[in-house]
Structure 1
Amino acid sequence: MKKNLPNLFFEKRLWKENFIVVGVDEVGRGALAGPITVGAVCFEPTSSLEAMKRLEKIGINDSKKIAPKKRIVLAKIIKQIALAYDTISLSNFEINRLGLVKVNEKAVRQVVAKIEKKLNIGQKLYLLTDAFSIKYIKRVGLKNQKAIIHGDCVSLSIAAASIIAKVERDSLMIKMNQRYSYYQWFKNKGYGTKNHIEAIKKYGPSRFHRNLFLRKIIEGN
């Protein structure tokens, strides 16, 4: 039985209406440490068949369902095929100061602005997102957004955004692990695994941890 993989159903409908379609997704939302990273990918209608064949052959899907090595391969292909792509990472310092929701919204606005600058075209943008909508995005607004539940399993553009964001954030966490190896960020990527929580209780939080996220862990120590 063939697995249902992300496709271009929504993108094709919007291309017919002359929209430039941008898939957006974030990773690191539930982590205890490190940044939140938002990816954005825009595919060209004329390259859609080629994109589908190359990405489907490897098995593009929600980044969480793909092995790390396969994600890296897919990320390279996505960057070769995409009309435009980019990522934005905002630190735990901003999350501690502003809160996760506001930082996520800020990151989405920034990455969409970067994509728009790269495209440098007059057509309207339409965002496909993974079950969230963002207010106050210039030239987009809420009208030209579609929040798709489990979007990274449904839309090829969202899945691609998820993958490049995941690869970028994983790379950042591996670099941060060099200084704080006892948290095993190279392995858990800042998420609340048993070993990570035990290390926080033993060594205390680092400057890269999200303070609000640790309150229950520290209080329960």
Structure 2
Amino acid sequence: MKFLCGIDEAGRGPLAGPLVVAGVILKKDILGLNDSKKLSEKKREKLFDEIKESSKYHIVFKSAKEIDDFGISFCLKSSILEIMQNLQEFSDSFLMDGNTNFGIKNLQKEIKADAKYTCVSAASILAKVSRDRFMDKISSNYPNYNFDKHKGYGTKAHIEAIKEFGRSDIHRVTFKLKALGETEFGNQTLLSF
């Protein structure tokens, strides 16, 4: 018997750090699963280990450089395809949180699936915790930016740090900021922070 595989991402919109996409097939019920954004950090951390022990899963990281080189949509699509390939032995049904399936055959999509389906909630948690841990780990290598505080998202403090120190090698240079007087051109993303 094959089970539904839930897929979700963390890090689509930050100014720095990777995109992380996770796919999860739960082998047993886990209490307390929900969209990772609705859970406390402590709760996510506790569920993270429980999910890994109770599932088949695959987690994909795409670096800021890959996002700059290929675009966020390509990175999302290639991550999803990698997950589907790695978990196809255990699932023939895949569900992505969101409003697009990136033209991928056999990939269902549903808005707010991360709050409705436990396997997508679990994927949301694996992606979020994996990304947060990565940003915490590298934070000491980039002391000017305090990545452990904002995880690379466009907070006021982070934008002020970019104004003062410029972008680091893990910043997404194609994500342009109105706050820095940058304008959109080509395949770049303009962010209104």
Quickly name the TM-score band, shorter chain normalised. Answer: 0.7 to 0.9
8 Å contact kept, 1:173–1:185:
yes
What is the aligned partner in structure 2 of residue 74 from structure 1? 47
What is the aligned partner in structure 2 of residue 169 from structure 1? 131
Number of equivalences: 181
Matched, 1:128 2:90: no
Supply the distance in 2 between the matched residues of 1:91 and 1:77 (Cα, whole angstroms): 27
Report deviation, 1:134.
3.2
Higher helix proportion, which one? 1
Supply the distance in 2 between the matched residues of 1:170 and 1:115 (Cα, whole angstroms): 24
2:3 alignment partner, one of 12, 20, 45: 20
Q: Percent identity?
A: 36
Supply the distance in 2 between the matched residues of 1:24 and 1:146 (Cα, whole angstroms): 10
The structure-2 alpha-carbon separation of the partners of 1:213 and 1:97, relative to structure 1 and needing over 3 Å to count, comes to: same
Aligned with 1:152: secondary structure? Answer: helix
Q: Report the TM-score when normalising by structure 1.
A: 0.77
8 Å contact kept, 1:37–1:89:
yes
State the superposition RMSD in angstroms: 1.6
Structure 2, unaligned stretches of length 5 or more?
A: 183-193
Supply the distance in 2 between the matched residues of 1:77 and 1:43 (Cα, whole angstroms): 10
Deviation string 1:87-132 (CA, Å, 9 cap, x unpaired) is 000000011011111111111111222223xxx46xx611111023
Supply the distance in 1 between the matched residues of 2:180 and 2:83 (Cα, whole angstroms): 34
Larger Rg: 1
Structure 1, unaligned stretches of length 5 or more?
A: 1-17
8 Å contact kept, 1:201–1:217:
no
Aligned counterparts, 1:58-207, within 5 A: 59-82=32-55, 84-116=56-88, 120=89, 125-131=92-98, 132-136=100-104, 141=105, 144-207=106-169
Aligned with 1:147: secondary structure? Answer: strand
Aligned with 2:175: secondary structure? Answer: helix
Aligned with 2:23: secondary structure? Answer: strand
Deviation string 1:126-152 (CA, Å, 9 cap, x unpaired) is 11110231334xxxx2xx332111111
Q: Report the TM-score when normalising by structure 2.
A: 0.87
What is the aligned partner in structure 2 of residue 37 from structure 1? 20
